[in-house]
Amino acid sequence: MTSQTKRFIEFLDIIGIQVECKKCGISLLVSGDALTSLIDPHNSTLSICPTCANPWTVPNLYPQRGFDTEVKDFIRKLGKMRELEEQLGCKLRFEIKNEVCGEK
């Protein structure tokens, strides 16, 4: 007999976002009203790491072609989908990978 477990996440399950620097490993957890403030075009929280200044959403090499707008649009759309889901005739869920014993 084979057993398989699948894990799913709904929009309402997403209450925050963790950002982890690929260079120094520091992590930033943003939730609640602070999460909403991230989508402000003038908020530069996600631009660079506050600890080591590693570029996050605005790369040093191409500042005019950064990814800040796309990341903020994604966060904005997550919030909108949470609102819209109540009006849908179905629930949308995303399958998430099952990490085994610390493996990624």
Question: CB count, 10 Å around CB of 91?
Answer: 10
Residues paired with residue 102 on neighbouring β-strands, in sequence order = none
Report the alpha-carbon distance of residue 27 to residue 56 in Å, rounded: 12
Q: Which amino acid is at 50?
A: P
Strands (E) located in 11-103: 16-20, 27-31, 93-96
Per-residue model confidence (pLDDT) at position 19: 93
> Hey, where are the domains in the chain?
7-88
Residues paired with residue 9 on neighbouring β-strands, in sequence order = 94
Residue 104 has pLDDT above 80, yes or no: no
Is there a contact between 60 and 49 (Cβ–Cβ < 8 Å)? no
Residues 52-80 have a mean pLDDT of: 83
pLDDT in tens, 22-58: 999 999 999 988 888 888 888 888 888 999 999 998 8
**Alpha-helix runs per DSSP H in 3-64:** 33-37
Report the alpha-carbon distance of residue 95 to residue 26 in Å, rounded: 27
pTM: 0.76
